[in-house]
Amino acid sequence: MESYFERAKLKFENLKNKTDVIVLGIESSCDETSVSVVRNGTELLSNVVSSQIDIHKRFGGVVPEVASRNHVMAIENVFNEAVKEAGIKLSDIDAVAVTYGAGLIGALLVGVNFAKALSFGLDVPLIAVSHIEGHISANYITHKALKPPFICLLVSGGHTALLKVSDYLEHTMLGTTIDDSVGEAFDKVARILGLEYPGGPNVDKFAKLGKSNIEFIKHDILKGTLNFSFSGVKTAVINYVHNLEQKGESVNVPDVAASFQSFVVKELTEKAISACKQTGLKKLVVAGGVSANSYLKERLTELCKENNIELYMPELKLCTDNAAMIASAGYYYIKKGKGLAGLDLTGSATVAL
Ligand code: KG4
Ligand code: ZN
C-alpha cells in the first residue's frame, strides 16, 4: 500500500495543472495565530488572525515561551473559524501550506505540527512556506493583476532588503541591512521613548503629532550601495534621549518619533527608487510589517509618481503577519513544483533570503 507521502507526491504533481486550487494556510511564527483559505493564490476566502499583542504588551515584547503556549490554545479555534468563514468543506482543501521559518522556533512548531496532522488527516500535500515569500505574496491578494518581475522592498521585523524578483519565488538580493532590521529599529526607538509594544505602529502614530526637526546622524551611510544600516540612527536616538534625561530635560516624544521615522523612510525610499532605476524595472512592491507605516506609504506614493514607477503595497490587514499570505505563497510553490514537505518537517529559526 502507498504511504501518505507517496500519495502526496502524486497529488502535488496533479495540482500543478489543476485550474482551481484551494490552499489552507497556517501562520504561527511570532505572536499571531492565523489560518486562512485562499483560492488560486489571489482570492481570499477567509483570513482569521488571533493576535497576542495584549498578552505580550505587559512584558514590552514577545516572550517566546508565552507565545508558543498561546498558539497551542488558539490554533484549533482559529482553524475552525477559518474553514467556517470560507464556506468550504474540509474535502475541498487541496493542500495545506505552513510557515516553517523564519521565526520563534517554539511558536513555529505549533503551526508546523498542526499542519502536519491536518495534511495527514485530509490526505493532501503539505507545503513548507518561507515567511518571507509569504510577505511578498500578500501583494498578489491585494493586487490581482500583479506579476513578476519587480523590485521588492522587504521591510519586516526580521529582514530589510531590496530584492530583484524575476519570477514567483525567484529573486536575487540587491542589498540588505548590514546590522539591524528596520522593524527592530522602530521597536527599539519605541521602547526608549516609553511607547508600548508593538513599537512600530506607536512610533508611526506619535510621529504624526511631531515635526522632523532633529538630525541624529548624517544621511550618507553606505552611500552608492543598496545596503542599509539602522543601528547608527537607533544608537543616536538612544544617546539623545539619555542625554536629555541626565540633564533633567523632557523629551519631545512626537518630534523624536517624527525625526527618526523620516530618517529611516528617506533611506528606504531613496534606495528602493535607485534599485528600480539601476535594474530598469518600473514596478516596486513593498512587503513586511513596516509596509504598514503611513509615512513610508506617503513618501513612496510621491516618489514613485515622480519617477514613473508603479507602486504596490499590501492592504493594511495583510501587511503584518497573517496566514492569507502563506496560503497565497503555497499556491505559487505548487505551481512551481517547490516546497512539498514530508511529515518530518520541522521549524527553522532562520531562512535564507
Ligand atoms: O513583518 P513582520 O510582521 O515581522 C517579521 O516577519 O519579521 O513585521 C513586524 C514589524 C515590527 O517590528 C513592527 O514594529 C513593525 O513591523 N511595524 C511597523 C508598523 N506596523 C508594524 N513599523 C512602523 N510603522 C508601522 N505602522
Ligand atoms: Zn512577518
Asked if residue 164 and residue 122 are part of one domain, the reply reads no
Q: Does 148 sit in the ligand 1 pocket, CB within 6 Å? A: no
- Number of domains making up the chain: 2
In the reported structure, the alpha carbon of residue 251 is separated from the centroid of ligand 2 by a whole-number distance in angstroms of: 31
352 lies in a domain? Answer: no
Q: Is 232 annotated as a binding residue?
A: no
In the reported structure, the alpha carbon of residue 173 is separated from the centroid of ligand 1 by a whole-number distance in angstroms of: 21
In the reported structure, the alpha carbon of residue 136 is separated from the centroid of ligand 2 by a whole-number distance in angstroms of: 10
Amino acid identity of 307? N
Q: Which residues of 82-104 are buried (b: 16+ CB within 10 A; e: fewer)?
A: bbeebebeeebbbbbbbbbbbbb
Asked if residue 188 and residue 131 are part of one domain, the reply reads no
347 lies in a domain? Answer: no
Range of the domain at 271: 149-314
Asked if residue 234 and residue 133 are part of one domain, the reply reads no
pLDDT in tens, 75-102: 999 999 999 999 999 999 999 999 999 9
Strand partners, 38: 23, 44
Q: Does 187 sit in the ligand 1 pocket, CB within 6 Å? A: yes
Q: Is 143 annotated as a binding residue?
A: no
pLDDT at 57: 87
Ligand with smallest separation from the Cα of 189: 1
Question: Does residue 58 sit in helix, strand or coil?
Answer: coil
283 lies in a domain? Answer: yes
Asked if residue 284 and residue 160 are part of one domain, the reply reads yes
pLDDT in tens, 246-273: 999 999 999 999 999 999 999 999 999 9
CA-261 nearest atom, ligand 1: 23
Asked if residue 306 and residue 326 are part of one domain, the reply reads no
Residues in the chain where the model's pLDDT stays below 70: 1
Asked if residue 211 and residue 116 are part of one domain, the reply reads no
pTM to 2 decimal places? 0.97
